[in-house]
Structure 1
Amino acid sequence: MIDFLIIGGGIAGVSAAARLAPFGKAVVLEKESALGYHASGRSAAMFEQNYGSASTVDLSRASAVFFETEDGGFLSPRGVMFLSKRGDTESFQACCEKYEAATIDLDEALNRVPVLRRDMLGHAAIHEAGRDIDTDRLLQWCAKTCRAHNGEIHTGQLVTGITRIESGWRVTTKDNSYTCKLIFNAAGAWADQVAALAGISPLGITPLRRSMARVPAPGGHDVSRWPMLLDIHEKWYAKPDAGSLIISPAEEDPMPPFDAWPDDMVLAEGIARYQEFVTEEVTRLEASWAGLRSFAPDRNLALGPDAHDPNFIWVAAQGGYGFQTAPAASQLIADIVMGRQSDLGDNTLKSLDPRRFS
């Protein structure tokens, strides 16, 4: 009998497995051939702890110590530069307040990112505490930690059936059958579908597509020390990546759960918005892709037992915050299962509790 059966091998699932494995037999089932295939493998890999709803910010801040200290740390310097057009002073000030960003003059902004257009910029600010996450190493650390406590991770295991039995659950895949005490639904964009297989009411989780394109470094510049660039209205962002630049239109288009791909027109529109702020034209793409960021109706994560069956535990609705909240989110799941008091505040716990939808 498996103690903890986790459906989904993205960062939500494997981080939960890493936290739970010391307390019982943990098994992760991932339908794809590798971990982190969908949203986790298409992340912007940024730790910006002021990004998201109030409960998401609390989770991110509670994750900071782990990111900075565990296994030598998973963060590296980047910074986030917020940009606005001329005349957009009120929105810029609100953005600076939200992100605790420091205003910089345009000379400094151009010194740090020389392709910015002075004639377009109205304001710039920097939040130096925004940092890159080594997402691949974090995913592998979680998997290694799970296995070190005799946990198991099985890929290529699409769940086809979930049945309630007296001792817990029977979960079937094409090739295998598993019996477990607790199910952890970390299926990302497919979380509501997994719930339906178990006879659990869906939460109304909506997958939203976000597209990205990798383009050559603008003007041949060394972009390695550039900050992430973010339009204050989040109509686009750009981030250095392996000597190139990733640009996203930051769209949120509702989609059914599927292996997402980018819409060429949406990408073109986003790149056009980015190009309003820079002197260098994008003439070709090196690659493009899309991921699904899955949100509950109130845009808070869903972490904890289902309202009607406490043996079915949601680890879902991470939106675009899965990596940066994973340490604290997985700790909360372990605390709930082991009956320990969480360090998170009461308002945050209420905001994250899936029973809020009951």
Structure 2
Amino acid sequence: MNYDIAIVGAGIAGASLAAVIGDRARVLLLEAEDQPGYHATGRSAAFWSETYGGPAIQPLTTASGAALRRGGYLEALGSLHIGRDEDERAIDAFLAEFANTPVVLERVDPAALVPGLRPAWRHGVMEASCAYIDVGKLHADRLAAARRGGAVVETRAELASAEHAGGRWRIATRDGRSFTAAVLVDAAGAWADAVAQVAGVRPIGIQAYRRTMVQLRTDPPAPAELPHVADIAGRFYFKPEAGGRLWLSPHDETPVDPHDVAPEEIDVATAIDRFEGVVDWQVAKIERTWAGLRSFAPDRAPVYGFDAEVPGFFWFAGQGGFGIQTAPAAAQIGAALLVGGDMPAGVDPERYAATRFAH
């Protein structure tokens, strides 16, 4: 089968890109797993925060906000960044980082927003724009839009080989299927460097990291009006879920080889210990634990664009843990570079160009 663009990876990145390209090109989505979104997309902590990821990510997140709101994917949450006296410099630096951006931040008394907050946590900054993301609906809608535009989605299609010759890629999957395409897009998340190597492209150093999540029941139950709560020093965050549950992370980043990750007991214990140092609530039950993969380029900014050395190879990777909240803007950048169109407002695509890793 012949295509204009073959996208490796049908998670939120690949699906969103295919949806925006629509019927302007013949698109193939290759997904190694039984279903798209099995790894990072399906294990997201499911919130949209303009400060999450820092100033390099903020323009992409902000630019994505309007599309996410129009689609009905966001629900009000708010994010409270808290600290102790020793964290005052970190809070000042945090406010300074976003002082000249559209992000609205306000100093608040955190005890007024978190019942049972221990007295040491007396510094707070409120990011009112933070919201829940309906990740499942967003991903399903992007896949559906891609298919309506004519994209073909092939699952259980792990890449076995990709050879560029005569201006086209000859692609084979491990189960023997074969395709050709003018452009090969690497949207493989934590496996991005591995896909590049299969295609004979020099890896750029995208590293996978494990992130742990814990679902708790607490006594008292987490209030429904509780905001997302994040340590300004980056040691934990937690947020309320339906039925008085709480999602908690120790904000870990453990380097790992990309695989189907599972949580480590020590990371779960660390999360609980840090949580109990923040509020006086009792942990009544650990209902479930899971882990996901985050993947970063060496400078921790996403990578969008054609490879500097191999023609027809397009990087669409390195989204860290921010791929969901930046998906609309990222897809718009990718589509503009691949088939033409406008760039998202307020975003400099050169900041994320793959050519910055040219040797």
TM (norm. structure 1) is: 0.93
Root mean square deviation, CA, Å: 1.7
- What residue is the counterpart of 1:18 in the other structure? 19
Matches of 2:172 and 2:286 in 1, distance apart? Answer: 42
Cα distance per residue 1:64-102 (max 9 Å; x no partner):
111121x3x211000001111234322223334446421
Partners of 2:299 and 2:171 lie apart in 1 by 30
Identity of aligned residues (%): 35
- Taking the aligned partners of 1:231 and 1:140, their CA distance within structure 2 comes to 32
* 1:104 maps to which of 98, 104, 108: 108
Query: Which amino acid letter does the alignment assign opposite residue 189 of structure 1?
Result: A
Partner of 1:169: 169
SS at match of 2:286: coil
Question: 1:313: Cα distance to partner?
Answer: 0.5
**Aligned with 1:211: secondary structure?**
strand
Paired letter, 2:235: K
Other-structure match for 1:74: 73
How far apart are 1:343 and its partner, in Å?
4.2
Q: Does 1:120 align with 2:124?
A: no
Provide the rounded CA distance (Å) in 1 between the counterparts of 2:228 and 2:177: 44
Structure 2 match to 1:136: 136
Say if 2:89 is the partner of 1:90.
yes
Match of 1:27 in 2: 28
5+ long unaligned stretches in structure 2:
99-103
What is the rounded CA distance, in whole Å, between the counterparts of 2:339 and 2:256 in structure 1?
36
Contact 2:208/2:296, CA 8 A, preserved across alignment: yes
Partner Cα separation in structure 2 for residue 133 and residue 76 of structure 1:
7
| CA deviation map 1:227-250 (0-9, x unaligned) | 111011110000122331111010
Aligned residues: 350
Of 8-17 and 239-248, more deviation after overlay is shown by 239-248
Tell me if the contact between 2:219 and 2:283 (Cα under 8 Å) persists in the aligned partners.
no
- In 2, distance between residues paired with 1:314 and 1:90? 37
Taking a change above 3 Å as real, the CA distance of residues 204 and 222 of structure 1, as seen in their structure-2 partners, is closer
Q: Distance in 2 between matches of 1:55 and 1:121?
A: 28
Change over 3 Å in CA distance of 1:222–1:229 after alignment to 2: closer
Q: What SS class does the counterpart of residue 322 from structure 1 fall into?
A: coil
Q: Which residue of 2 aligns with 1:64?
A: 65
Residue of structure 2 in register with 1:229 after alignment? 229
Deviations 1:185-210 (A, max 9, x none): 00011000000011000010000111
**For residue 76 of structure 1, what is the amino acid of its counterpart?**
E
Q: Which runs of 5+ in 1 are unaligned?
A: none
Q: Secondary structure at the match of 1:258?
A: coil
The answer to which of 157-166 and 86-95 deviates more is 86-95
Q: How does 1:282-321 map to 2 (within 5 A)?
A: 282-321=283-322
Question: Which string of whole-angstrom CA distances, capped at 9 and with x for unpartnered residues, describes residues 240-265 of structure 1?
Answer: 22331111010111110111111111
- Counterpart-to-counterpart distance in 1, 2:337 and 2:56: 17
CA gap 1:278/1:222 in 2 versus in 1, 3 angstroms: closer
Give TM-score, length-normalised by structure 2.
0.93
- The CA distance in 2 between the partners of 1:263 and 1:353, in whole Å, is 35
| TM-aligned CA distance change 1:345 to 1:356, over 3 Å | farther
